[in-house]
Structure 1
Amino acid sequence: MSFETNATVASFGGKLLKLSHTSSVIGSKMNLNLYLPPQAAAGTKVPWIFYLAGLTCTGDNGAEKGFFQAAAAKNGVAIVYPDTSPRETRYDGDDASWDFGRAAGFYINASKAPWSETYKMENYIVDELYSALPKEFSLDPAKVSIMGHSMGGHGALTLYLKYPTKFKSVSAFAPISNPINCPWGQKAFAGYFGDDKEDWKKHDATELIKSFKGNVDILIDVGTGDNFYKQKQLLPENFEEAAKAAGHTVGPSGVNVRYQEDYDHSYYFISTFSSDHVEHHMKFLQSQGDLIEF
């Protein structure tokens, strides 16, 4: 597999590449963005972080509005911005609503037909992109972390908890933390998995943390002015409670959920705390190259 570079944009001394490729997992063309910091220009293998976007988003949103590139350039870390779902293969109803189907892949492998044919975003992230990107770009295959927003926060938490040997660290902005108990998750899981609610638990961060072994150091930011938080779509308190009951530390150097006064669900919120999240990951991803000062 090879990536086609459709555009190159200078950003904070590095390059944002707008890429496309034909995915063998998804079975169609996929688009993504890759930010390479200036430290990667000479061929130095740099650590990298997946940023998983939320409902209605594409791989462009985080790259254009998240303001991750400044901190990424400073710390010598690359950011990968994948798409959120298959785009070309279509089924009846995949664009009937904004919270299911296109732009709502939930970073899982669907098991219910017809979605199971191509809605395999879990394997797309942890297998295909994870292995293919370091072969073509200056990315260190041994230094990978993951973060995300909303639906992507759900993806980041669950993929980290399922595949802890693949990711050095995890963080999330306003994640859907307990999807089996919120309307977004119940709709998506019923559509992608069917009615077996025990099966749903395999894709729920609050359920996964209950049996997770080892130390956790997870940064989560949630805005108290977020209407989705108020509507109980996110349920970070459930994740905290489950972590505490399982014996994990809740607070700094553990499951650290920060409730940010008045912030909403938007990229104004994400961009405000984006550098904090990059710095969180750098505790686990040792940068190569000199720090860049702005």
Structure 2
Amino acid sequence: METLSRARCFGGEQRVLRHRSAETGTEMRFAAFLPPQALAGDRVPVVWFLAGLTCTEENFTVKAGAQRVAAELGLLLVAPDTSPRGEGVPDDPQGAWDFGLGAGFYVDATQDPWAKHYRMRSYIERELPALVGAALPADLARQGIMGHSMGGHGALTIALRHPGRYAAVSAFAPICSPLRCPWGEKALGHYLGPDRAAWRQYDATALIEDGARVPDILVDQGTADGFLDTQLKPRLLAEACGRAGIPLTLRMQDGYDHSYFFIASVMEDHLRWHAARLERMAEGRSRPRA
């Protein structure tokens, strides 16, 4: 693990780190904000942020405005990259921005030439948490996960596949059903092949239909988002949660678009949502059994 940069921030420290990944076979970077409590020696809860198409670990770190509130709440924020990168990593043959580099979709690809490096599911679910737990003062018994757009899809599906691991899950303008939108059909078709049954493990609505559950979900969506009706489709998530009895707080934010200006506007609400649930998780584990 190599620390590429560090900077004091709201009494804590913002770092960018790099390591060699066994899953992707490439060097990977991620950003980590350590709150003051972590610098003082405490092991603190972790909230993961998964970014969207074309992004790296930098977008959330410099644009979301999360560090001030995370410092107050004592949350360690981890923002991974969105895909493998480097020599030999294939990109979209047409040079499009919605597939390949910067568009890993948090899946483990099964099709050539993507299968060798595009293993973002295993990287996020297994490899990176183990590295963070060993290298940083992170309490992996207390985790939350959130994401934006493609990363919102990633956060929702990862939480649904791992009931009990995350105290909270939330999303900003998530791709709610990759099975039923152009971005998802392109990405899953290339990474996983034509069998749409294999795609269901990477679709939040399908996972819920197939029995996956989380205690509750928070989603913020801008009404002026140009991708709302064609790619994101929060109505499908609302319908799936309604049928399954999963409490969904879906807030349609009037006039907001798909950008980080929108994310920064509601970030504090999401961090406090996570902190409240992480605190309840800690209280429940510390309560003596009868």
Same topology, TM > 0.5: yes
1:87 aligns with 2:85: yes
Q: Which residue of 2 aligns with 1:251?
A: none
Q: Does the 8 Å contact 2:91/2:99 carry over to 1?
A: no
The number of aligned residues is 280
Q: Secondary structure at the match of 1:244?
A: helix
Q: Does the 8 Å contact 2:160/2:213 carry over to 1?
A: no
**What are the equivalent positions in structure 2 for 1:10-89 lying under 5 Å apart?**
10-88=8-86, 89=88
Q: Secondary structure at the match of 1:169?
A: strand
Q: Which residue of 2 aligns with 1:292?
A: none
Q: Secondary structure at the match of 2:115?
A: helix
Structure 1 residue ranges, 4+ long, deviating more than 2 angstroms after superposition = 91-95, 211-216
CA displacement at 1:244 relative to structure 2? 1.1
- Aligned residue identity for 1:115: W
Q: Does the 8 Å contact 1:95/1:102 carry over to 2?
A: no
1:108 aligns with 2:107: yes
Q: Does the 8 Å contact 2:160/2:214 carry over to 1?
A: no
Unmatched segments (≥5 aa) in structure 1: 249-253, 289-294
- Distance between the aligned counterparts of 2:32 and 2:65, measured in 1? 14
CA displacement at 1:134 relative to structure 2? 1.2
- Distance between the aligned counterparts of 1:8 and 1:219, measured in 2? 31
Q: Secondary structure at the match of 2:90?
A: coil
Q: Which residue of 1 aligns with 2:205?
A: 206
Identity of aligned residues (%): 45
Select between 181-190 and 157-166 the one with higher mean Cα deviation. 157-166
Q: Which residue of 2 aligns with 1:272?
A: 265
What does the per-residue CA deviation read over 1:142-176, in whole Å, with 9 as the maximum and x for residues that have no partner? 01110000000000000000112322210000000
TM-score normalized with structure 1 length: 0.92
Unmatched segments (≥5 aa) in structure 2: 283-290
CA displacement at 1:213 relative to structure 2? 5.0
TM-score normalized with structure 2 length: 0.93
CA displacement at 1:9 relative to structure 2? 1.2
CA displacement at 1:242 relative to structure 2? 1.2
CA displacement at 1:246 relative to structure 2? 2.1
Q: Does the 8 Å contact 1:175/1:236 carry over to 2?
A: yes
Q: Flag the 1:160–1:95 CA change in 2: closer, same or farther, 3 A.
A: farther
**What are the equivalent positions in structure 2 for 1:106-185 lying under 5 Å apart?**
106-185=105-184
What does the per-residue CA deviation read over 1:177-214, in whole Å, with 9 as the maximum and x for residues that have no partner? 01110000000011101110111112100111123355
